[in-house]
Structure 1
Amino acid sequence: MKIAVSGKGGVGKTTLAALLIKYFRDQGKKVLAIDADPDANLAVALGVPHPEEITPISEMKQLVAERTESTPGKMGGFFKLNPKVDDIPDTFSTTIDGVKLMVLGGVKKGGSGCICPESVLLRTLVTHLVLFRNEVVVMDMEAGIEHLGRGTARSVDKLIVVVEPGRRSIETAQHVLHLAKDIGIERIVLVGNKVRSQQDREFLETNLSSLKFLGFMPFDEKVIEADLKGQAPYDLSPATMAAAKEIGDNLTKIQ
């Protein structure tokens, strides 16, 4: 199963990604966790010691240069558009509790539509992860799902959009839904997070009535506490973990 998790910054998509990673690991699955958000913090959510020591793939200048046959730091010029990437997940990942984690990082670009060696390597790598890896892949995406191309997107088993009760979150979710449909993702589901009451739940269901909700996670101060302590949310928040288990069960049922 290949899963992409998206949503507005701060909505809890990384928390959900970490919880689903634990869910699948506890099911005995081989899991590859991918942090595809330039504001990377999945390592923290998984409880990786010293996450600041992880170098994102996009910042490995020598690797990018070797695989794309480009010159580090040079603008323009020719470079390889189909670099070798199949060994990268096993060679450049960090292992935590039996889960492999790889941080992709972001690409600084001066204008829209920019093609550079880093972006080509990341796009090719994500394509490999989705199409050719024989394990559960959970990708914590940025809101714009920028790393997914049209061909790759159609092979994503589920795009989970995380929303919280609030107009800005709803607007971001609708934007992600439009982007997803434009590149061919059809298997889109929602998860409500930071839900305090039945009223919050009804607000989300009313404003996003065209799509299925996998479940709802409660607002829990312990999730914030876990983030402050650099611990995985499932270590401190049993209620959130219970909700995530229900979401994971529903996810596998509708595969």
Structure 2
Amino acid sequence: MPKMVICGRGGCGKSTLITLMAQKIEEQGKKVLIVDSDESNLGLSIMVGTGPAEKTLMDYMGGRPVVGAKLRARIKKEGDEKVPLFQKSSLDELSSEFVSWNGKKGFMQIGKIEHSHEGCACPMGAIARDFLTNLTVNDNEWVLVDTEAGVEHFGRGIVGGVDSVVMVVDPSNDAVLLSEKISGLSKEAGKPFGVILNRVDDETKTILEDALSKKNIPILGVIPYSITMARENLKGNRLDNNMIEGDVGEILNKVESQQ
């Protein structure tokens, strides 16, 4: 089963989509790991209903100073960062110190910006890339990676550790423009790419379908706007597939058929 990056512009609904997909995957009797690689996202664990683990992956590895030293050491040793930070591992082998499980659904955070002037998030990108590259998934297992807004994860090479890229497109011209950029970057990285329309009504759905068709960008599914979803998200409550009209199961089928 796929390891998949979910991306898009800020506020488009990446975390919402991941929450709905993870719930549907679990309902199908499959295991799913949600990887939060967004250094500023704070509410995803609440949305998916797992709660955060005791540590982020960065903390589990000893924190920023230790990770920074390891990165500098391997650059000095190899010159091109080929020395891995992680060994090959499966979902069952991941430590409960940095993965919180609730049934078949697991949640982990790569790391967060905790202090002013602590430095850039580049070390977190490096460990995310290496972790995903060395993470193996079996049949009936999925990995969903929530990313920061924009295209930073391409620059960091995080997409090198996954099987496909899915972008969430909300009703905005900025999202349409970004979809063309991400489509090109995904092609350059050799990863299948498709988009999911989110928070649309009949009129905006038609406009987006026309705009994306002209750019030859495949649409994998549609999630209509839901006032219930918006309200429960605002309240900080767990989200549920029953709050929307879209068929998330069909979206998963289309994503899986890309692999």
> In structure 1, which of residues 208, 215, 221 is the aligned counterpart of residue 212 of structure 2?
208
Q: Shift of the alpha carbon at 1:227? A: 1.5
TM-score by length of 1: 0.78
Pick closer, same or farther for the CA change 1:24–1:153 going to 2, 3 Å: same
Distance in 2 (CA, whole Å) between partners of 1:164 and 1:157 is 23
Q: Deviations over 1:80-135 (max 9, x none)?
A: 7422355673332001232111111357655xxx964x443332112123xx2322
The residue that corresponds to 2:108 in the other structure is 102
The residue that corresponds to 1:26 in the other structure is 27
Task: Give 1:112-131 correspondences, 5 Å limit.
Answer: 116=123, 118-129=124-135
TM-score by length of 2: 0.77
Q: Shift of the alpha carbon at 1:69? A: 8.6
Q: Does 1:2 align with 2:8?
A: no
Aligned CA-pair RMSD: 3.1
Q: Does 1:140 align with 2:116?
A: no
Distance in 1 (CA, whole Å) between partners of 2:61 and 2:85 is 14
Distance in 2 (CA, whole Å) between partners of 1:195 and 1:115 is 34
Pick closer, same or farther for the CA change 1:105–1:171 going to 2, 3 Å: farther
Q: Shift of the alpha carbon at 1:30? A: 1.6
Pick closer, same or farther for the CA change 1:83–1:191 going to 2, 3 Å: same
Q: Shift of the alpha carbon at 1:43? A: 0.9
Q: Does 1:193 align with 2:188?
A: no
Q: Does 1:82 align with 2:77?
A: no
Q: Shift of the alpha carbon at 1:212? A: 1.5
Q: Does 1:162 align with 2:163?
A: no
Please, which runs of 5 or more residues in structure 2 have no aligned partner?
A: 76-82
Please, which runs of 5 or more residues in structure 1 have no aligned partner?
A: none
Pick closer, same or farther for the CA change 1:223–1:45 going to 2, 3 Å: same
State the number of aligned residues. Answer: 237
Q: Counterpart of 2:180 in 1: which secondary structure? A: helix
Q: Does 1:57 align with 2:57?
A: yes
Pick closer, same or farther for the CA change 1:248–1:133 going to 2, 3 Å: closer
**Which letter does structure 1 place at the counterpart of 2:56?**
P
